[in-house]
Amino acid sequence: MARMTGSDRALYEATRLAYDGDAPVHFTKLDIAPPATERAFGRSFLRIPSDALATLAERAFLDSQYRLRPSFAAQIAAVAFDPEADERDRYVADTLVANALTSAQGVFPLCQDSGTATIYAWKGDAVLTELCGDDDDDAAALTRGALAAWTAGRFRNSQLAPLLGLGERNTGNNLPLSAHITAVRGSEYHFVFVAKGGGSANKTALYQETKRLLRPEAFYEFVSGAIAGLGVSACPPYRIAVVLGGQSPEETLLAAKLASAGALDALPSEPSLEGGVYRERELEAVVMAAAASAGWGAQFGGRFLARDARVVRLPRHAASLPVGIAVSCSAHRQVYGYVSANGYFVEQLADADELARIVDEAKSHRTSALMTSGFGSARRVDLGEPGTPAFDTAIRSLRAGELVELWGTAVLARDAVHARLQAMIDRGEAMPSWTRFPVFYAAPTGTPVGTIVGSIGPTTSKRMDSYLDDFMSRGVFTVTIGKGERGPECAAACAKHGGLYLAAVGGAAALAASRYIASIELIDWPELGMEAVRRIEFRGLPALVAVDMLGNDYYSALQRR
């Protein structure tokens, strides 16, 4: 096998070293017999049963849905209890800390969007896989592991398969697995397991720039513009990864994906004398400064849009300067794993006890002056029956920038439901009666035994903007609840039709399920799977009035300031 050179080799070596920040991660050894070894052709080979690969994948994906990396948990907790932090950042960080503590109990996943199951793997040429059962390759075994994790955890099935005529259907099991396995020299098998939600994946961007960008002032101007465009709909605080260069656009985006996962943290901090792949730490500070100045904050304004940044330099063609940007959200679900002659190992994430110690340590540094600010004081809003004087009065009194607690009935409806309702409007059909209720753009995970609902949180609201004017003009979903900023269509529709948009904290789905939902029931279109229409009863869900019925837009005002 030809030896890899250039970026491929550098990305593999960084992943093999398995760093988190500036330190190697800790691994847990699984209770599986180590691989057998066998001599042939003058070499030793590892023999790995494919069942063991399935077990490794299942464990990695299960852990990632409930636990955070200790370093990430410490970053969030530090902001939550920092008296110098913006009060809006502290509010969101405190919510995310509570969500992590809830999820670490192993009942409710961190996020309602269980993500696309993805595995990046590097298989040594001295590793042999013994296929078991119906497995016909390594990807099949890893697929079994992912399926077992999604089934055991009742995680949400979000994958759509294409059908003829631009049709789609939910696969019903979150498959297919996205597996990328590369052959390398050696006797170990290294993995990065990623469960990435749609919101953060949608922020991945590729730019084609020129050498002009490779000047400090030009880089800052470029990255400031790109970060301003990120917004908060992908559940910050983010890790922002920027890759400069790449011998193809595909290489650039792969590096951006791995860097956002932290898998390239072990890259050297400077190139060799001949030049080569490295982390540009000075530019990482520039990215952090741009994020702090963007005004978005952790979600409701402030300076904590980014928790950290990675900037990676790659070789490039003289006529091309591809630039990739990717983010990892507050549900940071990436896990290292590896197999060696010593056994099967998975990255050790923070369990409930370690997470509690991390939070207690952060609390110990707070001062008596720490936040008794008014931002966390929310007004109760009883949604009541739409169309009644009480409902209209409650909605009319709300103003952009106000924090509220929502009580009462809403319906869950998102992309597929909106598309079907629009088709009904186009055909001149009457709207279902449930469309008069407030809409929560959400779809939960499966319900754990003994609970009311699975993890539930808002999806990106902006995707529904094109429907607003048509819907609100007919009294459909005049009150909307989701996450993140929206386009000018939302403010215009709210002002024209007396609508309202409220933004909940994204990335706090475990907390919402355990604290803010009184009941849920399926009421229509069950064939849509996770996107079916459900009626839900809130019991105090916190939300920010993002656009009021006068058309005042809180997020637009943030950006103007």
User: What would the pLDDT profile of 324-348 be if each residue is shown by its tens digit?
Assistant: 999 999 988 999 999 999 999 999 9
Architecture, CATH, for domain 379-560: Alpha-Beta Barrel (3.20)
Q: Which residues pair with 480 in a beta bridge?
A: 439, 501
The Cα–Cα gap between 467 and 422 comes to: 7
Whose structure tokens read 């400090």?
Answer: 216
Could you tell me the sign of the dihedral formed by the alpha carbons of 103, 441, 224, 8, in that order?
positive
Q: Tell me the average pLDDT across 125-150.
A: 96
The Cα–Cα gap between 461 and 459 comes to: 6
Estimate to the nearest angstrom the gap between the alpha carbon of 367 and the chain centroid. Answer: 32
User: What would the pLDDT profile of 213-223 be if each residue is shown by its tens digit?
Assistant: 999 999 999 99
476: exposed, middle or buried (Cβ count in 10 Å: 0-12, 13-18, 19+): buried
Give the whole-number percent of the chain exceeding pLDDT 90. Answer: 90
Predicted pLDDT of residue 246: 97
Q: Which residues pair with 313 in a beta bridge?
A: 244, 278
User: What would the pLDDT profile of 41-78 be if each residue is shown by its tens digit?
Assistant: 889 999 999 999 999 999 999 999 999 999 999 999 99
Cis preceding-peptide flag for 83 (omega within 30 of 0): no
User: What would the pLDDT profile of 287-307 be if each residue is shown by its tens digit?
Assistant: 999 999 999 999 999 999 999
Question: What's the pLDDT band for 560 if we cut at 50, 70, 90?
Answer: confident
Predicted pLDDT of residue 3: 45
**Residue 514 CB contacts under 8 Å (≥ 6 apart), including other chains:** 102, 107, 108, 451
* 366, two tokens: 């707070």
- pLDDT at position 366 over 50: yes
Give the pairing type, strands 479-482 and 439-440.
Answer: parallel
Per DSSP, the residues of 48-87 read EEHHHHHHHHHHHHHHHHH---HHHHHHHHHHHT-TTS-H
The Cα–Cα gap between 189 and 15 comes to: 11
DSSP 296: B
Mean pLDDT for the chain? 94
CB 267 within 8 A of CB 333: no
Choose among 75, 29, 31: nearest CA to 362: 75
User: What would the pLDDT profile of 382-423 be if each residue is shown by its tens digit?
Assistant: 998 888 888 888 888 999 999 999 999 999 999 999 999 999
The residue extents of the domains of the chain are 31-161+168-196+333-369, 198-330, 379-560
Predicted pLDDT of residue 373: 52
The Cα–Cα gap between 120 and 279 comes to: 20
The Cα–Cα gap between 526 and 173 comes to: 16
- pLDDT at position 553 over 70: yes
Lowest mean pLDDT, pick from 51-55, 93-97, 370-374, 522-526 = 370-374
The Cα–Cα gap between 102 and 448 comes to: 14
Predicted pLDDT of residue 370: 47
pTM, entire model: 0.94
Predicted pLDDT of residue 371: 46
**Residue 183 CB contacts under 8 Å (≥ 6 apart), including other chains:** 1, 122, 123, 125
Question: What's the pLDDT band for 364 if we cut at 50, 70, 90?
Answer: confident
Question: What's the pLDDT band for 126 if we cut at 50, 70, 90?
Answer: very high
* Tally of CA atoms within 13 A in the half-sphere of 34 that contains its CB: 10
Choose among 235, 202, 199: nearest CA to 96: 235
- pLDDT at position 374 over 60: no
Phi, psi of 458 (to 5 degrees): -75, 150
Predicted pLDDT of residue 5: 59
**Three-point CA angle 471, 476, 477, nearest 5°:** 100
CB 32 within 8 A of CB 300: no
Q: Which residues pair with 334 in a beta bridge?
A: 194
The Cα–Cα gap between 58 and 52 comes to: 10
Whose structure tokens read 């952790």?
Answer: 298
User: What would the pLDDT profile of 433-487 be if each residue is shown by its tens digit?
Assistant: 999 999 999 999 999 999 999 999 999 999 999 999 999 999 999 999 999 999 9
- pLDDT at position 1 over 70: no
Question: What's the pLDDT band for 9 if we cut at 50, 70, 90?
Answer: very high
Phi-psi region of 134 (alpha: psi -120 to 50; beta: other; left: phi over 0): alpha
Q: Tell me the average pLDDT across 499-509.
A: 97
Choose among 4, 3, 5, 7: nearest CA to 278: 7
